[in-house]
Structures are given as structure tokens and as C-alpha cells.
Amino acid sequence: MINGRHILAERQDIVYRAPANERAAPVTMPAAAEPSAEATRVWQVVADSTLLMRYSAMTFNGHRIHYDEPYATTIEGYPGLVVHGPLQATLMLNIIADVLGRMPKIFRYRGLAPLISGAAFQVEARALPDGGLSARVISAQGVATMSAAAETG
């Protein structure tokens, strides 16, 4: 609260995979997403191991899937290091703010699939008919890994 005004509300529904006893089954990736022809703005981003380590340090996230590739691939079953969901959300919020020229009034996001580091991915924003914006993160393989909606109200 600032000056008696509530300025931020946050709700998180976090889902974790079950712990692996010895080796996790490989993670299955969903089908490719169609690129948006109506994208208002598109950014190309590469989340390399250095960025993931720095983001983990900055957010005090010690999960090894973000910085320990042998662990991520052998124990957790991912094809590589996993890009943080909050990092993807931050990129979507920033592209929306860039399009708007300010922060949106409401921002909601949802993880759809793991994003594996090592190749460029896209962050795209699209204006909606109601004046809001939507955003997506799309992997190099064309899979939508995260989506967001923003209200400008």
C-alpha cells in the first residue's frame, strides 16, 4: 500500500513436476504454434546459460533446471536448460509496456510449455480489438510456451 491505496495484487498458481526417483521420463513438447500475422511488435531473444544463471541469482531461484544442464537433462528429463517462467513473463510485460508507452493496468500470464535455452525465441505483442494487448513467447521450434493478456483501462 502507498498512501493508503492498494497498488498491486498478485495471485500465483504454481504447478511442479513430481520429484524423480532415478530418472524422469523425457518431457514431451506440444505441437508448434502458428506465428501471429497480426503481431504489433516482435522481439528476438536468446536466453543463454549466463542470462539464466544471472536471473536465478537475481531472483534467488536455486532450481538446478535453470543452470545445471546435466541435472536438467539426466535427472529432470528436459532437452536442455529451462528458461524461467518469470523471465518470460517479464519479457512479455516489457514488450506490452513498450507498445503502450506505459505499464498496463492489469497483466495476466500463463505458462503453456517449457522453454529450452540455446536458440533464439520470439516475444510478440498483439493489439486486441477491445484496446487491450496479448503477448506470447514462441520457441525456436514454434511452440507457444507462455501467453499473456493486458488491460489498459
55 in a domain, yes or no? no
What is the span of the domain harbouring residue 98? 41-48+83-151
In a domain, 117, yes or no: yes
pTM: 0.79
d(CA 78, CA 106) in angstroms, rounded, equals 32
Total domains, the chain:
1
Q: Where are the alpha helices (DSSP H) in the chain?
A: 49-59, 69-70, 85-100
For residue 34, what pLDDT band results from cuts at 50, 70 and 90? low
Tell me if 77 is assigned to some domain: no
The Cα 141–Cα 111 span in angstroms is 16
Q: Which of 150, 123, 127 is nearest to 137 (CA)?
A: 123
Q: Is residue 22 part of a domain?
A: no
Domain annotation covers residue 10: no
In this structure, is residue 66 part of a structural domain? no
Helix axes 49-59, 85-100, angle to 10 degrees: 90
Q: What is the pLDDT of residues 38-48, one digit of tens each?
A: 788 999 999 89
Residue 11 lies in a domain: no
| 109: in domain | yes
> pLDDT tens-digit profile of 107-132?
999 999 999 998 899 999 999 888 88
Q: What is the CATH number of the domain that holds 125?
A: 3.10.129.10
CA distance 64 to 30: 23
pLDDT attached to residue 15: 59
Residue 16, exposed/middle/buried by CB under 10 A (0-12, 13-18, 19+)? exposed
Beta bridge partners of 5: 2
